[in-house]
Structure 1
Amino acid sequence: MKRKFSLLLILLVGLAIAQKAAAQTNNWAVGFRIGEPSGVNVRKYFGENHAFDLNFGTYGGIYGTRRSYRKGVYKNVGFSVQGHYLWHGSFGKSETLHYYFGFGGQLNSRRYYSDQFSYVNAYDKTISVGGSGVAGVEYFLPNKPFSIFLETGGYVEVIPAPFFLGLQSGLGVRLNF
């Protein structure tokens, strides 16, 4: 997985250096994100360098469905909603390669299997809430409404397991309109 991300980043940088065209940070962007979390991505641009990014889809599939949590484990993929307030800009004079970073929150729903009831494989549906941060790069295809992005970040749970940490990363494509 690391190798694929590295190769994609090298490809994006190479394309940005080889070609120059107007970036297409229009009012809205809609796309798909593969990573943690995976799903549909919607972005609303406003002002000169601000945006709001919303992801909704699955959580817990990329880094493994089985993960230690509180006094038990997660054994499945759950639902997630994640929102970030972003700052963005271009790298130097490049109009095709942009960076962004931001902060926000995340809500997750997964099955929690407590060690106390492991002999019967019983679970509770757990809702978790926490803060998250993201930083990424985005390449806008020259003269096309599409962009490709690569991002990484983290999640820090507040409820019900304070300070539970999760690494998050993703790769995706957006249609800018």
Structure 2
Amino acid sequence: MKKTLSLLVVLLIGLTISRQAHAQTNNWAVGFRIGEPAGVNIRKYFGENHAFDLNFGTYGGIYGTRRGYRKGVYKNVGFSVQGHYLWHGSIGKAETLHYYYGFGGQINRRRYYPDQFRVGNFYDNTISIGGSGVAGLEYFLPNKPLSVFLETGAYVEVIPAPFFLGFQSGLGVRLNL
């Protein structure tokens, strides 16, 4: 994971120095996100105001690794894949600031420590599936292929713990190709 993030940072810096572009919202964007979930972010813009956003990386680190869940706890950071269908638009005439919002789903994998096995510190590898929503702001740097974003949202689990609610937020950077 560290090698992937390092390679991505080097790529972002190299492309920023070597080329200049206006904000493009009809192509691909790739970057990284710090938050929950944290990791690599890929976005595909299409149409006038639509996009699909995909995050994959870690889940459970920002708001605490120890979290009550069902009849037990999570004690670690897990893996997550999250996808959202987005609507977006510009704020103001300069078109450097955009808003976006959308809905989608999320799959998580974490270690679940049931209370009944507390003495032995045994765990189950739990896979959870649920719906998620997101809203955010994205600032496109003038004459640069980079954008910075801030977003917030929520995850509502369907399986195996219906209505388990997790709040999510993130800050990141994307290279707009």
Q: TM bucket by the smaller chain?
A: 0.7 to 0.9
In the alignment of these two chains, the number of paired residues is: 157
* 1:12-161 paired onto structure 2 within 5 Å: 22-161=22-161
User: For residues 58-92 of structure 1, what are the alpha-carbon distances to aligned partners after superposition, in whole Å with 9 as ceiling and x for unaligned?
Assistant: 00000000000000000000000000000000013
> What code does the residue aligned with 2:104 have?
G
Deviations 1:101-147 (A, max 9, x none): 00000000000000000000000000000000000000000000000
Q: Give unmatched runs, 5+ long, in structure 1.
A: 1-20
Q: What is the RMSD of the two structures over their aligned residues, measured on CA atoms?
A: 1.0
Provide the C-alpha distance between the structure 1 equivalents of 2:93 and 2:22, rounded to a whole number of angstroms.
11
**C-alpha displacement at 1:22, in angstroms?**
4.3
Contact (CA 8 Å) 2:54, 2:81: kept in 1 or not?
A: yes
- Residue 119 of structure 2 aligns to a residue in which SS? helix
CA contact (8 A) 1:22 1:95 kept: no
Tell me how far 1:94 sits from its aligned partner: 3.0
Partner SS state of residue 68, structure 1:
strand
Is the CA contact (8 Å cut-off) linking 1:65 and 1:76 kept in structure 2? Answer: yes
Output the amino acid matched with 1:159: I
Q: Which runs of 5+ in 2 are unaligned?
A: 1-20
**Deviation of 1:46 (Å):** 0.4
CA offsets per residue over residues 14-50 of structure 1, 9 Å max, x none? xxxxxxx942224100000000000000000000100
Q: Provide runs of 4+ in structure 1 moved above 4 Å.
A: none
Separation in 2, partners of 1:114, 1:94: 53
Partners of 1:164 and 1:84 lie apart in 2 by 19
| Rounded Cα–Cα distance in structure 1 between residues aligned with 2:173 and 2:128 | 27
**Greater CA deviation, 21-30 or 100-109?**
21-30
- Whether the aligned pair in 2 keeps the contact of 1:72 and 1:113 (CA below 8 Å) is yes
Q: Distance in 1 between matches of 2:87 and 2:94?
A: 17
Distance 2:174 2:65 in 1: 27
Give CA-to-partner distance per residue, 1:136-160, whole Å, 9 cap, x none.
0000000000000000000000000
TM-score, normalisation: structure 2 = 0.87
Quick one: distance in 2 between partners of 1:36 and 1:167?
8
Secondary structure in 2 matching 1:120: coil
